[in-house]
Structure formats: structure tokens, C-alpha cells
Amino acid sequence: MSQPEIITPKVRRLIDFPLKVGESPTWDDRTGDLWLVDILAPAAICLRADGRVERFEMPFKIGCLALCESGDIAVALENGVHLLNPKTGTMKLLCDPDGGRPDSRLNDGKVGPDGCFWIGTRDEAVPQTGNARLYRVMPDGSFTTVVDGGLLTSNGLAWSPDGRTMYHSDSSGLFAQVFDFDPQKGVTGPPRRLHDFTPAEGRPDGAAMDADGFYWIAGVLSGGVNRLSPEGEVVEIYKMPAKSPTMPCFGGPDLATIYVTTLFTDNNGTFEHGTLFAFEAGIRGTPVHRFKI
């Protein structure tokens, strides 16, 4: 297997306030807004197209968010999935798939080609016990458990451009896997191992998909964002000016800008606040799906 190309893109910082654990950057192609979360603040944050920054404080840790067809924002909190009205700031509970399980919280999530909100959990036990799950939340608030146990930190959700493959990672297990996917039925078979991550590639975290079918996944503690081929080979590593990138997403009018969140890190005695970066790589992404609610 050939060595990946190491690329140092021209990166710009987009915010002047610190994040604790920046995550879940999401581009709204209808409005030109960019959403993200700070898990531990906890808050949902919107960088409006006109330059305003809106901050929505959350009552519990927030794992991720997703755009809804209605214009609401679905937010996955420790106490369930809520619908945030960004105009009024009000929230209403949709469902609580994790049901208050001990040593567990909702973590990474994305809407799939099926219009459902796929959300994984993180095993918060010390040491971890493998109790993490992956849920599929339907627009009516019903849900199913797709993966029950055997995971430590469910993460890295993304779908191939044709909607036939779902990508998924276990951050603590240090691997990525793929599922066959039907845009109407969801997952249709057991997972297949895609890649085991090395220390140089970092701890696999949040992910995105480009228009050529390559999987972009942040490598926490490596300072890089890994670009994997559909066969699971790391072909490029984009180095960030921070030790712990957490998740990329594609945005901008032509989906050619890559946004990357980071988290607060001790970098050999130098403390780096979490932030939001952007760069161009000459590669376009795929549009995000919307929760059909």
C-alpha cells in the first residue's frame, strides 16, 4: 500500500471565540449558514451568511445537530433528540432513543438518504465497556437500534454519493467500517471493516463525503484530516494548524470549501482552544440530507 500524500492547505480561522469541543459542522445550502456545536459548552452555534453569529445555549451536552426540511434544527442532547426553532430559540422533545442509560450519551449523528436521523452514542464508562449503540430515528419520533453493543464511541457517519453505502467509525476502537444501505430501508446487512487507523492518522472522529466517493475523516491528536478511497486506503492527509481536528464538512456555494472543527487540546504544554477552520482543496462535496420533518 502506497504512503498517503501529506498536504498542508492554506487554512483560515473563521471564529474569534474559543470552543471546548467543536463538532458537527453543517452547511445549509438554502441559506448559506454554517451550523456547529460545542459539546461541552454546551451550545449550538450558527454562523449566518450575513456575518452574524447566533448562539443557542443547551441544557445538556449536545452531541450533534442536523437540518430539518421544516427549517428547524434537530439537536441530539444527553436527554434526547429535540427540535430547535432557530427563529424563536424554543425547543421541543422529539424522542429519547437512549432512554437515560447509565454511562452513555448521544454523540455523532447525521441524516441519511432515507431522511432519518442516524445517531450513535459514546460509552462514558471508565474504562469503556463497549455499550455504545447506533440508532435510526424516524421523522415521527419512533426509532430502532441498528447496532447494540460492541462499540465504544460511535462516530464518522457519512454516505456514498449514490446513497448505497453508509460509512461509520469507532473513535475509541480506532477503525472505520461500511454498511450496505438502501435509501428506503436503511442498513441492509452487517458491517465490513474499512480501515484500522494508525497513530499517524489519529483517532477517527467526524466525517464527510466528497463528490468522488472519498471519505474524509478527522484524525484527533494527529493534526490531520484523512481522505480515504472507497477501498479504505488513506490517499491524502490534510494537515491542520491544530492538533485535534474533530470533523470536516463541505460547504460554500459550490460545496468546494472544507470546514473543520477542533477541540481544546494540550499540545505539548501549549493549550489550544477549539476553533473552526476553512480551506479549499479543489474538491467538491456532496449535499447533506435533511431530516424529513
Catalytic one of 98, 114, 205, 210: 205
Handedness of CA 101, 68, 191, 184 (dihedral sign): positive
All three cell numbers of 249: 464538512
Q: How do beta strands 5-7 and 234-239 pair?
A: parallel
Instruction: Provide long-range contacts, Cβ within 8 A and 24+ apart, for 122-129.
Output: 122/63, 122/152, 122/153, 122/154, 123/151, 123/152, 123/153, 123/172, 128/152, 128/153, 128/172, 129/103
Whether residue 205 lies in the annotated active site: yes
HEC secondary structure over 75-143: EEECCEEEEECCCCCCEEEEECCCCCCCCEEEEEEEECCCCCEEEEEEECCCCCCCEEEEEEECCCCCE
The whole-angstrom separation of Cα 285 and Cα 257 is 8
Tell which residue, 165, 64, 73, has the closest CA to residue 118: 64
Answer yes or no: are the C-beta atoms of 169 and 205 closer than 8 Å: yes
In sequence order, what DSSP letters do the residues of 50-79 get, joined into one string? Answer: TS-EEEEE-SS-EEEEEEBTTS-EEEEETT
Q: Which residues are catalytic?
A: 205
